Amino acid sequence: MMAAGTAASRGRKVLLLEKNKRLGAKLIISGGGRCNLTNAEESVDFLLSNYGKAKGFLHSSFSQFGVKDTFNFFAGLGLPLVVQARKRVFPKSEKATDVFMVLEKYMQAGGVRIKCLSEVDGIAGKHGKIHHVCVNGEKISADSFIIATGGKSHPETGSTGDGFKWLHQLGHTVVDANPTIVPLAVKEKWVKSLSGVSLSAIKVTFFVDGKSKIKKKGKILFTHFGVSGPMILNLAGRVNKLLHEGEVKMEIDCFPDTDLGALDKRVTNFFNINKNKSLNNILPEICPAGLAKSIMQLLSFNTEAKVHSVTRDQRKEIVHLLKALPATVTGLMGADRAVITDGGVSIKEIDGKTMRSRLYDNLFITGDMLHISRPSGGYSLQLCWTTGYVAGINA
């Protein structure tokens, strides 16, 4: 949509083909329907380092359309943006549909022709030029072709990796797309029974063979299949590598800023004040909200007893669980639950100034199609605005 609108704003005649009934199915579910559309990191150098090995490749395109341009673009079309925690940027209305409407307006202003329910089922090219695409048996030719068919995450939105197949057939190197910003599947029932509960300011540690491999503080969200939330999503790629080393255990520290001894003291004091109450009733007051039931399931003793009868070892067991809730990671969830997939078209075969294919002179490749890793936090959509704009300027 960004590429089409930009090309049209230069007076180009643009036809946008979309296989769904409507455009923007993934955009309108982004950021939980609020659309985290960029990241307000001021240092371009730091911002680009979030794109891993593609940092150098993206320098030119970000200098043509960077984060500031995203702010100006959306505000200029009547959609002011706000910066929230971790520099994530949302529309002030917090509605992804408003972002979509701005892009629609942009395309309308330039006279983009939009044909929905038009599934492209092939692209023909020879001697460094694309000649036509095929849609429902019809050949459509053009001077330039911009491919923005997305990655493979949430395929129900329309991104099923079609573009990867065509480009592979045309001789481009396409790295297999696997889920990367994706929740983790966990074995234990207690995790699944907490579905919907989220804990802020916890620390999670991942182990292989008892050795600590990754530690991170942040927020965790329990789901009916495991764990999610921005911190987990961003760690999934690294956890995936650990899964190749052996069984991955994780521990959740609910009080990362309090050491074991201090927490034990706090619990002891609390127990002294509440001696005659039953443990069941007071556990919710020392556990993070929603967690008491699971802690009770994990304890090796009956929690119906009065607090004064809780032994030292039993109290230590409670404190230990609060510091190190154990779970086993069985894998990454699939593409259907991923925010993005990694993999895609090798950027070595694309000119970073224009998004033009180095193999086909009139072919441009953008957005999730590119083999560029990045974390969550608005970096994916910024990549779309930037590469879409640059392709639209050069097509």
Binding-site ranges for ligand FAD (CB under 6 A): 17-20, 25-27, 29-31, 35-36, 119-120, 148-150, 153-154, 158-159, 162, 339-340, 367-368, 378-381, 384
Shortest reach from residue 151's CB to ligand FAD, in Å? 6
Q: Which of 143, 99, 118, 183 is nearest to 381 (CA)?
A: 99
Shortest reach from residue 153's CB to ligand FAD, in Å? 5
395's tokens: 């097509």
Between 120 and 292, whose beta carbon lies closer to ligand FAD? 120
Shortest reach from residue 121's CB to ligand FAD, in Å? 6
Between 158 and 288, whose beta carbon lies closer to ligand FAD? 158
Between 87 and 213, whose beta carbon lies closer to ligand FAD? 87
Between 209 and 336, whose beta carbon lies closer to ligand FAD? 336
CA angle 65, 67, 73 (to 5 degrees): 70
Shortest reach from residue 301's CB to ligand FAD, in Å? 42
Shortest reach from residue 83's CB to ligand FAD, in Å? 14
Alpha-carbon gap, residue 301 to 317, rounded angstroms: 10
Alpha-carbon gap, residue 217 to 234, rounded angstroms: 12
Give the C-alpha distances (Å, rounded to integers) separating 382 from 53, 79, 115, 246.
17, 16, 25, 36
Side-chain-facing half-sphere of 23: CA atoms under 13 Å: 21
Name the residue with the smallest CB distance to ligand FAD. 158
Q: At what angle do helices 379-394 and 55-64 cross, to 10 degrees?
A: 60
Q: Which of 23, 179, 160 is nearest to 99 (CA)?
A: 23
Shortest reach from residue 23's CB to ligand FAD, in Å? 6
Between 99 and 191, whose beta carbon lies closer to ligand FAD? 99
Between 9 and 366, whose beta carbon lies closer to ligand FAD? 366
Q: What is the DSSP letter of 176?
A: P
